[in-house]
Amino acid sequence: MENVLFEVKEHVGIITINRPKALNALNGDVMTELMATVKAADANPDVYVMIVTGAGEKSFVAGADIGQMSTMSAEEGKLWGAFGNQVMLTIENAAKPVIAAVNGFALGGGCELAMACDIRIASENARFAQPEAGLGITPGFGGTQRMPRLLGRSKAMELILTTNQIKAAEAKEIGLVSKVVPLEELMDAAMAMAKDICKNAQVAVRECKACINRGLQTDIYTGAAYEAEAFGLCFATEDQKDAMKAFVEKRKLDGFKNK
């Protein structure tokens, strides 16, 4: 693949959007390759956690490719938005955790891509915005759905309707990102967080992610019932048996079998 790079380091699958001359804008080829890469990484038993980032030092993803969208009909626009949402849902619904390492502009589709990830870490030069209303369209890859869930209705309305761009510090203040670090430390910070996740029992990690995602889409009673199912499932794993036995015996567990 030319537009999306992939490598595995210490059980971490690093996915890089690779169109730096176009500020990593999302066109059809990028989106197709991104979805295929995420699916392959999710199915790879050597990958426990994924990191998504952009090539270069200026941009994570500066949005969808406006040149491609400028001549679309209403029907073509609907199909493009539906495909974009399919890609973002593939990321959000991946069994394994996905960390966005936001290294610059995360505008439009780039902000939506970051929000589809489970955790967001930003470099100090990162900038976030949903500029679509200024281009005569709505966000099309889930921005109107994920941003209110992450930030609340009022702040999401403000950012989407004004199209104002915010800096990394404000993004952290409002809860859009978890951490802000200098650009040169971004990938180290993302890798450190990924390794912290890798240290734990991966069956439990995946069930935790599924519980959170499903719970956010339903009422507390249904969510609690799903959590009870996941909780019980974990007691059928070797990881639970090994870890609790080690705890009771006051000794350190020498890694998980992840089964």
Q: Where are the beta strands (DSSP E) in the chain?
A: 4-9, 12-17, 49-54, 59-61, 98-102, 105-107, 119-123, 127-129, 166-167, 179-181
* Tokens read off for 177: 């990102």
Cβ 79 vs Cβ 86: under 8 Å: no
Q: What are phi and psi of 14, to 5 degrees?
A: -100, 120
Q: Is 132 a catalytic residue?
A: yes
Q: Is 227 a catalytic residue?
A: no
Residue 226 to residue 230: CA distance in whole angstroms: 6
Residues paired with 14 in a beta bridge:
7, 51
From the candidates 132, 184, 185, 227, which is the catalytic residue?
A: 132
* Tokens read off for 221: 């009673």
Handedness of CA 152, 158, 160, 165 (dihedral sign): negative
Residue 32 to residue 87: CA distance in whole angstroms: 8
CA angle 165, 168, 171 (to 5 degrees): 75
From the candidates 10, 75, 112, 173, which is the catalytic residue?
A: 112
Catalytic residues: 112, 132
